[in-house]
């Protein structure tokens, strides 16, 4: 991989994105923070009921959740024309994500269903899927593998997670390979455990990963280091041995 942008940034993504150049990013894949529900039980949003579990707090999904349009607006500015933006969502936030994305100028190309291969009992059909909204900025660019379907079956991570909301790297691989080319710059403004970093290193993309929580940020940096140890660091970073 040629040298290029490989940035892991600690801070608020809205603030940080404000300093980025307009139309400088080729792809965004993200899994943003949103309010969690009480799983269909009486009581509505946990955030309103103050019944958040420790795991949920640690995941970072529960602190100061900005409305989607606030960060999407900044993202829209920094994305190049004719690019894709994938936004993961649960069923509760899907409509707001679509409304806010369109409000700032993105257009919906498709709504993908991620079959996680595991389910949560809900009482109204077992929940085994999440959603990924595929937006475009500008023209309707085609995906690279046009044989891909809107149903993506990739096993979610059980046990041994670095982050409570960690997504499988194969899911990021699938989206990144379909909507970017070698050396393109990919951004995840809410990186969590840094799944985007691992996927971009694997697939020869440049990346910008932003995380606000210092604990997750430290873990991301370690993950990057661990990944490089596994795959010939001297070739990746030019530090000849």
Ligand X SMILES: C[S@@+](CC[C@H](N)C(=O)[O-])C[C@H]1O[C@@H](n2cnc3c(N)ncnc32)[C@H](O)[C@@H]1O
Q: Under the rule (CB under 6 A), what is the footprint of ligand X?
A: 12-13, 31, 33, 60-61, 66, 163, 165-167, 190-193, 195, 210-213, 216
Nearer to ligand X, 83 or 191 (CB): 191
Shortest separation between residue 137's beta carbon and ligand X, angstroms: 21
Nearer to ligand X, 98 or 132 (CB): 132
Minimal CB distance to ligand X: which residue? 60
DSSP 3-state of 143 = coil
Shortest separation between residue 97's beta carbon and ligand X, angstroms: 13
* CA–CA dist 30, 106 (Å, integer): 15
Nearer to ligand X, 115 or 213 (CB): 213
Nearer to ligand X, 138 or 168 (CB): 168
Q: What is the DSSP letter of 218?
A: H
Which residues lie below 8 Å from residue 99, measured CB to CB, with a gap of 6+?
none
Measured CA distances, 9 to 55, 88, 89, 160, 233 (Å): 23, 21, 23, 24, 21
Shortest separation between residue 13's beta carbon and ligand X, angstroms: 4
Shortest separation between residue 232's beta carbon and ligand X, angstroms: 24
* CA–CA dist 54, 64 (Å, integer): 16
């Amino acid at each position: 991989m040629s040298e290029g942008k490989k940035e892991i940034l600690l801070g608020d993504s809205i603030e940080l994105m404000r300093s980025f150049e307009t139309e400088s990013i080729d792809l965004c894949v993200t899994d943003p923070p949103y309010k969690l529900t009480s799983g269909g039980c009486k009581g509505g949003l946990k955030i309103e009921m103050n019944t958040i579990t420790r795991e949920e707090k640690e995941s970072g999904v529960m602190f100061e959740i900005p409305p989607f349009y606030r960060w999407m607006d900044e993202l829209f500015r920094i994305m190049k024309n004719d690019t894709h933006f994938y936004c993961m969502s649960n069923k509760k936030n899907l409509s707001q994500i679509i409304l806010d994305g369109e409000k700032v100028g993105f257009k919906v190309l498709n709504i993908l269903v991620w079959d996680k291969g595991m389910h949560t009992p809900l009482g109204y059909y077992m929940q085994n899927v999440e959603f990924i909204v595929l937006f475009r900025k500008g023209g309707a660019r085609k995906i690279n593998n046009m044989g891909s379907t809107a149903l993506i079956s990739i096993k979610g991570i059980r046990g041994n997670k670095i982050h409570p909301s960690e997504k499988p790297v194969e899911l990021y691989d699938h989206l990144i390979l379909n909507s970017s080319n070698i050396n393109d710059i990919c951004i995840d403004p809410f990186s969590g455990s840094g799944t985007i970093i691992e996927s971009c290193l694997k697939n020869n993309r440049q990346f910008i990963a932003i995380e606000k929580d210092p604990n997750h940020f430290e873990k991301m940096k370690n993950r990057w280091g661990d990944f490089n140890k596994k795959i010939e660091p001297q070739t990746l970073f030019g530090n000849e041995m």
